[in-house]
Structure 1
Amino acid sequence: MSYPNQDDENNTSQEKDSQLKAQKEMMLKQVLSSDARLRLNNVRMVKPDLADLVENYILNLNVQGKISGQISDDQLKQILLSAQQPKRDFKFNRV
């Protein structure tokens, strides 16, 4: 009886991760203009969490069919600004 090798499991998960990453990059190339991709890569160097959040948001919009054409650099700026806005909590004080 043979047991699965831990290295084999790690290799397959790494292959899946690299395939998903390649698919993600391909979709972003189709959806983002070259200036927007450059801006997103620059943001990734400074704020990787923000870049991941915006990437996932854009990919979700694309999957839902809500993106027509490419996202320009100006549109990406707006998305980045809205993603950085602090969420406001409204508290009501009852008298």
Structure 2
Amino acid sequence: MSGEPSDDELEQLREKKMEQLREQAGEEGGGNPREAAQQRADAQKKAVLRQHLTDDARKRLNTLKMSKPDVAEQVESQLVAIAQSGRIQGKIDDEKMEELLRELTPDSKSFNIKRR
């Protein structure tokens, strides 16, 4: 190993730093309870997704988030609900994520680009 932190470790460090910044902002401005609750929910959602998705599956979800943020938000919510209900055994890999996306977004069109 080259000594570089893994993606999971980097994500955890980011979460800790964001939590520290949120606490500082909350202390300075009094904070909005609704925003604080939303941030906690987002952090919990990220933790659940990190626990149940492989790196490749998370990359696929992030790519979807870049192109269709509203669809990605719905997919994330569905994944969290599935995970919290206990219907996920093990981790979701890229192939399972692709199947889930097809199931959860049936109206979305997929196409392949073939080069000649």
RMSD: 1.5
* Residue identity (%): 33
| Residue 70 (structure 2) aligned to one of 40, 45, 49 | 49
| Residue 73 (structure 1) aligned to one of 72, 82, 94 | 94
Aligned partner of 2:35 in structure 1 is: 14
Deviation at 1:25, TM superposition (A): 0.3
Aligned partner of 1:61 in structure 2 is: 82
Separation of aligned partners in 1, 2:95 and 2:59:
12
The residue type paired with residue 49 of structure 1 is: D
The residue type paired with residue 33 of structure 1 is: T
Deviation at 1:84, TM superposition (A): 2.3
Deviation at 1:48, TM superposition (A): 1.0
Deviation at 1:85, TM superposition (A): 1.3
Deviation at 1:50, TM superposition (A): 1.4
Task: Give the unaligned 5+ runs of structure 1.
Answer: 1-6, 87-95
TM-score normalised by structure 2 residue count: 0.63
Separation of aligned partners in 2, 1:83 and 1:66:
15
Select the structure with the greater relative contact order (CA < 8 A; seq sep ≥ 6). 1
Q: Which has the larger radius of gyration?
A: 1
TM-score normalised by structure 1 residue count: 0.76
